[in-house]
A and B are shown apart, each in its own frame.
Chain A
């Protein structure tokens, strides 16, 4: 689909406006796709809502995983206080990528009542200066929260003023929680900040020494460089993509003769200057980075593709083939993929025997769950429902494949636990695969759940497919924990709630002929 966006604004529109991303829907896959094409999903909302994440929380992810950065939470002391948990993971997953990360370094401007009345600008200014003095970071990300957003603090101005005093690059992120219902809008916000504050081309004599024209090897050196660049592909990672995933996809692409680099996480801003040293940019998941890749295309003429998310045999083949086609390496890819597919197929056979026919419900980001559904189907599981956090047209291609392979199953757009447990009550899955923060409600409801992304495992590519299949098999081998717990715990919902449709509180649902659950 065409991605039309204006980068020349102070901050990007939330995705519900920018690309009609839906955050409320209930029905079948066919209804979801129909509604998405006709733009009907955008009209859906809720008359009962539950808590979730906001774009400010999600904005901290890329910010923290930028090497040697500091993040400033500009708001009351609670905003961003979940960041204690990130410390461990960025160190661990940085190390797994061979990158030594400092851990999560962050400060809260700790706005109190007086600051809210007087404005928090001076406090923010002081905090930026102290962050620079204390840590000498590469970048300082300033996350603007609801309170300064409501009182109208001009953080852009503070940041620009502070920038003159500090060595780190200060990046304002306009991400107040109330500003977006679709919390993945955060990725646009962070990339917007990054694209306006950093350079993406190597600097002469800092990053490289130009070839000397009088050098007798000048031509060959130049050609060598240009050849290498013409065979270089850049992959864009994200929080949910683990070191194993990067390694697996790199392995496949390098095997067909490509030079592969990953951006932007676990790199320092100086490394970002090599972002333009590529022939092609590839997105694993447009939810994260299409905004940035479109910018790089317009600004530097680097083409990009987002073939699909490489989960399961078929999508991995598609992913690698699309890249190979761009470089004219179809033959090499075909040979490799054939062999890999065969090997994987053989490896999955014994697993299939153990999991065949078990029903699964999948919940999380829409590309990842769609592709995970196809993988589950591939190993013989019966996919009985999807629950997307958000949904927009970017998912239509994948979900048309899903519908074709799996059938027209339940497909909701929801982060609400009440809708989830209601769905579980009716669909009665044997197992679930779910995004963090969701699993607890499934397990309490008696459904063993494994995490949709767990960076310590591989999820992408052929080895990822095997790893996930093994995890599913392992989870199903002993489900005593969920069973015991569900017999002794009570969910906070009334019995009568389960008698209603899980989509009872979704307003503006388009009409459908499909039976509801």
Chain B
């Protein structure tokens, strides 16, 4: 894999820390250099100023290995660190995570763990050496480890309980609001959902995840490994769905989950009818300003593999905009790209955008400008105007070059703080329309 200009993710440890600090009362213990914990916290902060959480940043226990440990090994230091953490830190689950350098020096973390295991302090180990993958993978492997090492296997399943997987804290910046909205939608059809990383979750909820009938993975890539592990160990079946944005997509989502759980389609449609009415009565009153001002835009969607297609689909299918380019910014294997292409082809776009896999910020801009120059000596040429970029803070330059608007929807998000804002489901569809129009009237 090549170098990357301003990567839109961090390392596996970074994703693991973003996830662990979002899980309820979890104490991560880093086996790594002193800067890993602090700086990776500062890095995932740019998921809409996602703070340290329960135990991130300067509270993260970290073995802070230095030259001495590189030469003599860091196992003893880690052992001391874990035992001290037991004395000081207050948590329901301790999770040892490693960094690339401790992987390199080859510390035998497993044997340290077996030495320090105490029944009163649940402890698991997740190997997150930095160069093995990026932060999305870090999320997956943490959740997978929970299923493999922590969540008790339950023979008894609750046929109205599902787990929602696939949204990565910080790197899917709206993860909390999105998961809460999807849980709300599922509750309308009588289904409960475990969300893992939203603030309401407790360690009991996590332990209960083994009782779920189904794992719903909201990403074609992230969370799939965890779902596979859960299937193997806990016998929980899984489906992979798109992140639903807007009314139509939300109904599709509810129907897909319902089908797997054996819930009657009619029942679902009836249960959601009121929600759809409510949604469109909001849209209804937004129509005056939209119709009077011609707010239809060409759009460029720049996002990760989880969110890029859903945003484009919403723009095209739900509000009748013209997404022209979709850039997926993850590093993906060819097989996965093929898979994504297939789901892209399956979306019934009115105006089919171009799908591009590009990690590099500079090349994204270059790609558009080479195809659609913004300045030509000719009076008449096919310009992207009016343009709207749905991307990250570092796509601001592209938006300025296109003389268009920017809505900061993908990592890094530094132009807004995100608490429980959502761009998913019914409420998210409304919020997205709200923000797309607001951007165009905010100067008034």
Chain A residues engaging chain B, CB cutoff 8 angstroms: 47-57, 72, 75-85, 87-88, 104-113, 115-116, 123, 126-127, 130, 134, 146-147, 149-151, 176-179, 181, 183, 415-418, 420, 437-438, 440-441, 490-497, 505
CB proximity of B17 to chain A, nearest CB, Å? 9
| CB–CB B58/A106 < 8 A | no
| CB–CB A494/B88 < 8 A | yes
Q: Interface centre among A57, A77, A78, A441, by most B CB within 10 Å?
A: A78
| CB–CB A113/B132 < 8 A | yes
CA distance A76 to B91 in the complex (A): 30
Question: Of the candidates A79, A110, A146, which one forms a contact with B3 in the assembled complex, judged by CB atoms under 8 Å apart?
Answer: A110
Question: Of the candidates B3, B10, B55, which one forms a contact with A123 in the assembled complex, judged by CB atoms under 8 Å apart?
Answer: B3
Question: Of the candidates A80, A440, A497, which one forms a contact with B51 in the assembled complex, judged by CB atoms under 8 Å apart?
Answer: A440
CA distance A425 to B27 in the complex (A): 21
Whether A87 touches B393, Cβ cut-off 8 Å, given contacts A51-B58, A179-B67, is yes
CA distance A351 to B362 in the complex (A): 50
Additional pairs, 15, CB under 8 Å, beyond known A54-B36, A116-B131, A494-B88: A52-B64, A54-B33, A56-B35, A81-B43, A82-B40, A82-B42, A110-B3, A112-B132, A123-B3, A126-B2, A150-B101, A178-B65, A179-B66, A417-B59, A494-B90
Question: Of the candidates B5, B57, B69, which one forms a contact with A417 in the assembled complex, judged by CB atoms under 8 Å apart?
Answer: B57
CA distance A495 to B90 in the complex (A): 8
| CB–CB B130/A78 < 8 A | yes
Least CB separation from A76: chain B residue: B130
**A–B Cβ pairs within 8 angstroms, 6 of them:** A51-B60, A82-B40, A84-B6, A110-B2, A123-B2, A493-B89
CA distance A206 to B397 in the complex (A): 34
| CB–CB A134/B5 < 8 A | yes
CA distance A440 to B40 in the complex (A): 16
Interface size on B, as a range, is: 35 or more
Query: What B residues does A107 contact at CB under 8 A?
Result: 3-6
Least CB separation from A492: chain B residue: B55
Whether A109 touches B3, Cβ cut-off 8 Å, given contacts A84-B393, A505-B84, is yes
Query: What A residues does B58 contact at CB under 8 A?
Result: 50-52, 415-417, 420, 437-438, 441
CA distance A254 to B30 in the complex (A): 51
Question: Of the candidates B60, B62, B130, B414, which one forms a contact with A84 in the assembled complex, judged by CB atoms under 8 Å apart?
Answer: B414
Query: Top 5 closest A-B pairs, CB basis?
Result: A54-B35, A51-B37, A78-B11, A48-B84, A76-B130
CA distance A497 to B45 in the complex (A): 28
| CB–CB A178/B101 < 8 A | yes
Question: Of the candidates A57, A78, A79, A492, which one forms a contact with B89 in the assembled complex, judged by CB atoms under 8 Å apart?
Answer: A492
Query: What B residues does A111 contact at CB under 8 A?
Result: 131
Over the window 47-80 of chain B, the binary record of Cβ atoms lying under 8 Å from chain A Cβ atoms (1 yes, 0 no) is: 0000110110111111111110110000000001
Question: Of the candidates B7, B57, B63, which one forms a contact with A77 in the assembled complex, judged by CB atoms under 8 Å apart?
Answer: B7
Query: What B residues does A416 contact at CB under 8 A?
Result: 58
CA distance A47 to B130 in the complex (A): 25
Question: Of the candidates B3, B43, B100, which one forms a contact with A82 in the assembled complex, judged by CB atoms under 8 Å apart?
Answer: B43
CA distance A33 to B276 in the complex (A): 70
Query: What B residues does A181 contact at CB under 8 A?
Result: 34, 64, 66
Question: Of the candidates B5, B35, B61, which one forms a contact with A177 in the assembled complex, judged by CB atoms under 8 Å apart?
Answer: B35
Query: What B residues does A112 contact at CB under 8 A?
Result: 1, 131-132
Task: Decide if B321 is an interface residue (CB 8 Å cutoff).
Answer: no
Query: What B residues does A183 contact at CB under 8 A?
Result: 34-35
Question: Of the candidates B2, B4, B61, which one forms a contact with A48 in the assembled complex, judged by CB atoms under 8 Å apart?
Answer: B61
Query: What B residues does A85 contact at CB under 8 A?
Result: 42, 45-46, 414
CB proximity of B250 to chain A, nearest CB, Å? 32
Query: What A residues does B362 contact at CB under 8 A?
Result: 134
CB proximity of A191 to chain B, nearest CB, Å? 20
| CB–CB A110/B84 < 8 A | no
Whether A78 touches B43, Cβ cut-off 8 Å, given contacts A84-B414, A497-B87, is yes
CB proximity of B373 to chain A, nearest CB, Å? 19
| CB–CB A492/B34 < 8 A | no
Task: Decide if B14 is an interface residue (CB 8 Å cutoff).
Answer: yes
Query: What B residues does A420 contact at CB under 8 A?
Result: 58
Whether A127 touches B60, Cβ cut-off 8 Å, given contacts A78-B14, A79-B11, A147-B104, is no
| CB–CB A51/B3 < 8 A | no
CA distance A51 to B87 in the complex (A): 17
Question: Of the candidates A81, A105, A150, A490, which one forms a contact with B14 in the assembled complex, judged by CB atoms under 8 Å apart?
Answer: A81
| CB–CB A51/B34 < 8 A | yes
| CB–CB B59/A146 < 8 A | no
Query: What A residues does B393 contact at CB under 8 A?
Result: 84, 87
Task: Decide if B166 is an interface residue (CB 8 Å cutoff).
Answer: no
| CB–CB B100/A146 < 8 A | yes
Question: Of the candidates A51, A57, A115, which one forms a contact with B57 in the assembled complex, judged by CB atoms under 8 Å apart?
Answer: A51
Whether A50 touches B60, Cβ cut-off 8 Å, given contacts A76-B131, A78-B11, is yes
Query: What B residues does A81 contact at CB under 8 A?
Result: 7, 9-11, 14, 39-40, 43
Task: Decide if B13 is an interface residue (CB 8 Å cutoff).
Answer: yes
| CB–CB A113/B131 < 8 A | yes
CA distance A123 to B1 in the complex (A): 9
Whether A78 touches B135, Cβ cut-off 8 Å, given contacts A49-B63, A146-B101, is yes
Task: Decide if B304 is an interface residue (CB 8 Å cutoff).
Answer: no
| CB–CB A440/B11 < 8 A | no
Query: What B residues does A72 contact at CB under 8 A?
Result: 3
CB proximity of B87 to chain A, nearest CB, Å? 7
Task: Decide if B412 is an interface residue (CB 8 Å cutoff).
Answer: yes
Whether A50 touches B61, Cβ cut-off 8 Å, given contacts A78-B10, A81-B7, is yes
| CB–CB B34/A48 < 8 A | no
CA distance A150 to B81 in the complex (A): 22
CA distance A138 to B422 in the complex (A): 42
Query: What B residues does A54 contact at CB under 8 A?
Result: 33-36, 38-39
Query: What A residues does B101 contact at CB under 8 A?
Result: 146-147, 149-150, 178
CB proximity of A363 to chain B, nearest CB, Å? 11
CB proximity of B268 to chain A, nearest CB, Å? 37
Task: Decide if B290 is an interface residue (CB 8 Å cutoff).
Answer: no
| CB–CB A115/B42 < 8 A | no
Q: Interface centre among B12, B30, B37, B135, by most A CB within 10 Å?
A: B37
